[in-house]
Amino acid sequence: MRRTAAVWAGKATGVLSRFSRLGGGTTLPGDVARAIDPDVLRKLSRDLKHGAIVITGTNGKTTTARLVTWLLEGAGHSVVSNRAGANLIFGATAAALERAGANGRLHADWGVFEIDEASLERAVEEIQPRAAMVLNLFRDQLDRYGELEAIAKRIEAALARLPDDSHAVMNADDPRVAEIGLNLKRKPLWFGLDDPAVALHELPHAADARTCPRCGASLIFDGVYVGHDGLYRCPNGDFARPAPDLAATHIELNGFDSVALGVSGVRIELPLGGLYNAYNALAAFAAGNALGFEPAYIAERFRTVQAAFGRQERLEAKGRKLNVVLSKNPAGFNETLRTAVDLAGGHWFLIGLNDRRADGTDVSWIWDVDFERLRGRSRVVVPAGNRAADLAVRLKYAGVEAQPPESDPARAIDALIEATPEGETAHMLCTYTAMLDLRAELVRRGWAKPYWET
Amino acid sequence: MARHQKTFTVGWLYPDLMNIYGDRGNILTLLKRAEWRDFEARLIELGRGTTKRMDEVDVFFFGGGQDREQALVYEDLLEHKQPPLERAVAAGAGVLAVCGGYQLLGHYYQTGEGERFPGIGLIDVRTEAGTRRFIGDVVVDSALVDIRPTTLVGFENHSGRTYLGPKAKALGRVRVGFGNNGDDHTEGCLQGGVLGTYLHGSLLPKNPHLADHLIRSSLRRRGITDLAALDDTAELAAHEKILARSAR
Ligand SMILES: [Zn+2]
């Protein structure tokens, strides 16, 4: 009875908040239902016919969840997932609620939930997933999440509680993730990149996991792919990147258009750009592998996947192409910049920085982003968001010519459209709520669909 | 290079380990503002094990790190860096120490359990662990007489409570935020050429007047007392933004 009441209360809130456009009804119903029945997610998860997959990590959760969901749906399964980037446990609850029937039962085969690093332990406990994926661990919103060390410990505690027959799918290239995996009793399913041709030779400025967890020596990186993810070893020989069970080779990067890689004897290609999406694809491939899907099926299915909301979302505006790319921390921003400037040859940019709770209230991290990459390459940069003034200073010290800071979303979009020639592509790299604000304005002008239709 | 008559050198203590809160902003600001005045600006990275060319440094920067990294630099600081750092400061070099770096330059850090980790005692401050973390915007009315505007703005995120001894003067009084300890309204410290503070954000990009104070003070020993004025419109707009919203 309690569960049915909780489900109904949550569903009603979801409908109401979507009508009133109060943030789109992504977690509020979860809050309400959990207040009525704290066990509601545990009970709903038991209804899933085949079980659930949880995905955690600093970057790539949403896209990886989308890929895994795409695989499952292609095989005829019904999937419940927290799609709108609401990755707290309330978001997972809200997603399950939305699909629950009038009797308070959930009718779905699988659950695919992206879970905040900090909520993982509770999620594993309540959801009892068939697989848990750990994508990477980068510094992100230290004011909100705290230091990496503490986060890593919580993830380790969560994975130690996975059911015996579940899989831990983990990124071997990330020293912090590897440290967690090597401490576990179960053997993780390791994935990693194996292609020196796309590796950088030194760590970016904002690399975090630089030291050996065993002896404290500075790790030696023989190649760096994304952030501090790469091919690393301790000079004292007590810690090194685990050999991947699934390794991506012969990686091809084609701007924001596509990324291709070889794994397990098949060639995977997906219509999303950037080396970071090679990781997301490989992670999803590994999960598919653990669930028993054929490599050939996965390769075929990935060809037609679409970008998640605000992740390389392509729009048209007054004859210009807009590319909206969520960029929320130094590791992520460096990758989207690298993709936009080096791989896609972009010239027109809007950078959006907000300091609301979901973005992080401390904007110091913009000094760890290599905006220097834009110097001499960008033709126009519009600093936007409620901290546009800070961005303007950052760009000045990076030696990048920029327009005056513009905190008003409508005027920032006008400035970008005006500066971008017709037929050309403008890249909008934004933190989470800056992206929501700008997107709301794009929706208002009819240039983008509301997020619940994406 | 020959046309540069003047050099300005920044020494970054542990750039790979003590860099957690966008500290690179402080380094870039010091270097660029010297460069824009036609100095040859140089950066010396002072990682673990090296003391190379510490005597050439005009301003040292010592930032904050995550706990694991902070523990790793601690031994190196005592073993390698302390004597040359003391010599440089006695000779008139400046030091900007933020958060963890600020704590490590003091007498000690005392944990909640009463265990004490000695610092290098370069400044007369001591730090005790607090239970609640101080996180948020900070506005300080500065005690420095040579800076305009007289305010400093930044962001704090620390659980340590730092108390000043008689030899250390406060960098300023807190108008918004917690500062050194949340009790006595002080923020940061000034002692000789050392400036310690909890402010990041990054600190110097939004406080160009403080950056210039550090550059000017460190160059005095080489007979340079004046710096050419720069256009700080962008920097002061970001500064104003924090003042304005903190006043709300
Ligand atoms: Zn080692």
CATH assignment at residue B241 = 3.40.50.880
A364/B66 touch (CB, cutoff 8 Å), yes or no? no
**ipTM of the complex in this document:** 0.96
In the prediction, which pLDDT does A271 show?
94
Residue B48 has pLDDT above 60, yes or no: yes
Q: How far is CA A114 from CA A73, A135, A149, in A?
A: 17, 11, 21
A392/B23 touch (CB, cutoff 8 Å), yes or no? no
B200/A362 touch (CB, cutoff 8 Å), yes or no? yes
Q: How far is CA A333 from CA A35, A60, A276, A371, A436, in A?
A: 37, 12, 11, 9, 17
User: Does B92 fall in a domain?
Assistant: yes
Rounded to 5 degrees, φ, ψ at A383 are -75, 125
Q: What is the pLDDT of residues A381-394, one digit of tens each?
A: 999 999 999 999 99
| pLDDT, mean of residues A319-341 | 94
Q: Which residues of B touch A375 (CB under 8 A)?
A: none
B25/A367 touch (CB, cutoff 8 Å), yes or no? yes
User: Among A134-143, A412-421, B237-246, which stretch is predicted with the lowest mean pLDDT?
Assistant: A134-143
| pLDDT, mean of residues A364-375 | 96
Does B126 reach chain A within 8 Å, measured CB to CB? no
| Whether residue A365 sits in one domain with residue A298 | no
**B-interface mutation test, from A397, A400, A403, most B Cβ less than 10 A away:** A397
- Cross-chain CB nearest to B24 (options A363, A367, A390): A367
Sign of the dihedral defined by the CA atoms of residues A195, A200, A202, A205, in that order: negative
| Whether residue A201 sits in one domain with residue A129 | yes
Question: Is the pTM above the cut of 0.90?
Answer: yes
In the prediction, which pLDDT does A88 show?
67
Query: Which residues form the domain of A169?
Result: 2-302
| Whether residue A241 sits in one domain with residue A295 | yes
In the prediction, which pLDDT does A28 show?
66
User: Among A4-13, B27-36, B129-138, B191-200, which stretch is predicted with the lowest mean pLDDT?
Assistant: A4-13
In angstroms, what separates the C-alpha of A396 from chain B's closest C-alpha? 8
A211/B69 touch (CB, cutoff 8 Å), yes or no? yes
A149/B66 touch (CB, cutoff 8 Å), yes or no? yes
Q: Is A354 exposed, middle or buried (0-12, 13-18, 19+ CB in 10 A)?
A: buried
The region that residue B111 occupies, defined by phi over 0 for left and psi between -120 and 50 for alpha, beta otherwise, is: beta
| pLDDT, mean of residues B139-156 | 96
| pLDDT, mean of residues A4-13 | 65
Residue A144 has pLDDT above 90, yes or no: no
In the prediction, which pLDDT does A43 show?
82
Contact A371, A335 (CB under 8 A): no
Q: Which one of A302, A337, A368 terminates a domain? A: A302
Q: What is the pLDDT of residues B54-99, one digit of tens each?
A: 999 999 999 998 878 888 898 899 999 999 999 999 999 999 999 9
In the prediction, which pLDDT does B70 show?
84
Query: Which residues form the domain of B156?
Result: 7-246
| pLDDT, mean of residues A72-91 | 80
User: Among A307-321, A401-415, B100-114, which stretch is predicted with the lowest mean pLDDT?
Assistant: A307-321
| pLDDT, mean of residues A424-443 | 96
User: Among A71-85, A110-124, A209-223, A347-361, which stretch is predicted with the lowest mean pLDDT?
Assistant: A71-85
User: Does B206 fall in a domain?
Assistant: yes
Question: What is the residue-averaged pLDDT of chain A?
Answer: 90
User: Does B2 fall in a domain?
Assistant: no
B185 catalytic? Reply is no
Q: Pairing mode, if any, of strands B194-197 and B189-191?
A: antiparallel
User: Does B128 fall in a domain?
Assistant: yes
In this prediction, residue A27 has a pLDDT band, given cuts at 50, 70 and 90, of low
| Whether residue A321 sits in one domain with residue A291 | no
| pLDDT, mean of residues B41-46 | 97
User: Does B98 fall in a domain?
Assistant: yes
Question: What is the residue-averaged pLDDT of chain B?
Answer: 94
The count of structural domains within chain B is 1
In the prediction, which pLDDT does B183 show?
96
Rounded to 5 degrees, φ, ψ at B127 are -130, 135
More confidently predicted of A375 and A306: A375
| pLDDT, mean of residues B172-177 | 97
Residue type, B83: P
Residue A216 to residue A223: CA distance in whole angstroms: 20
Find, in chain B, the residue whose alpha carbon is nearest to that of A148: B66
Residue A325 has pLDDT above 90, yes or no: yes
A393/B68 touch (CB, cutoff 8 Å), yes or no? no
Q: Which residues of A touch B202 (CB under 8 A)?
A: 364, 367
More confidently predicted of A82 and A9: A82
Q: Which residues of A touch B241 (CB under 8 A)?
A: 387, 389-390
| pLDDT, mean of residues B160-187 | 98
In this prediction, residue A90 has a pLDDT band, given cuts at 50, 70 and 90, of confident
- Cross-chain CB nearest to A397 (options B23, B48, B205): B205
Q: Give distance in angstroms: CA of A443 to centre of ligand 1.
A: 52
Find, in chain A, the residue whose alpha carbon is nearest to that of B28: A397
| pLDDT, mean of residues A363-391 | 97
| Whether residue A368 sits in one domain with residue A291 | no
The count of structural domains within chain A is 2
In the prediction, which pLDDT does A21 show?
42
Q: What is the pLDDT of residues A50-80, one digit of tens each?
A: 999 999 999 999 999 999 999 999 999 999 9
Q: Which one of A240, A270, A302 terminates a domain? A: A302
Q: Which one of A281, A302, A323 terminates a domain? A: A302
**High-pLDDT (> 70) share of chain B, %:** 98
| Whether residue A362 sits in one domain with residue A223 | no
| Whether residue A364 sits in one domain with residue A249 | no
| Whether residue A315 sits in one domain with residue A296 | no
| Whether residue A441 sits in one domain with residue A373 | yes
In the prediction, which pLDDT does A8 show?
65
Q: How far is CA A368 from CA A9, A333, B94, in A?
A: 44, 9, 24
CATH number, residue A370: 3.90.190.20
- Cross-chain CB nearest to B155 (options A216, A364, A368): A364
Sign of the dihedral defined by the CA atoms of residues A152, A153, A158, A161, in that order: positive
User: Does B1 fall in a domain?
Assistant: no
In angstroms, what separates the C-alpha of B154 from chain A's closest C-alpha? 9
Strand, coil or helix: what is A238? coil
Residue B218 has pLDDT above 50, yes or no: yes
B189 catalytic? Reply is no
| Whether residue A338 sits in one domain with residue A281 | no
In the prediction, which pLDDT does A20 show?
41
- Give, as residue ranges, everything with CB less than 5 Å from ion ligand 1: A 212, 214-215, 217, 234, 236, 238-239
**A-interface mutation test, from B72, B132, B239, most A Cβ less than 10 A away:** B72
**High-pLDDT (> 70) share of chain A, %:** 91
Q: Give distance in angstroms: CA of A275 to centre of ligand 1.
A: 28
Helix H or strand E segment including A241: none
| Whether residue A111 sits in one domain with residue A24 | yes
In this prediction, residue A97 has a pLDDT band, given cuts at 50, 70 and 90, of confident
In the prediction, which pLDDT does B112 show?
86
Q: Which residues of A touch B21 (CB under 8 A)?
A: 142, 362, 364-365
Chain A / chain B CB contacts < 8 angstroms: 91
| Whether residue A134 sits in one domain with residue A101 | yes
* Residue ranges of B 167-196 with Cβ closer than 8 A to chain A: none
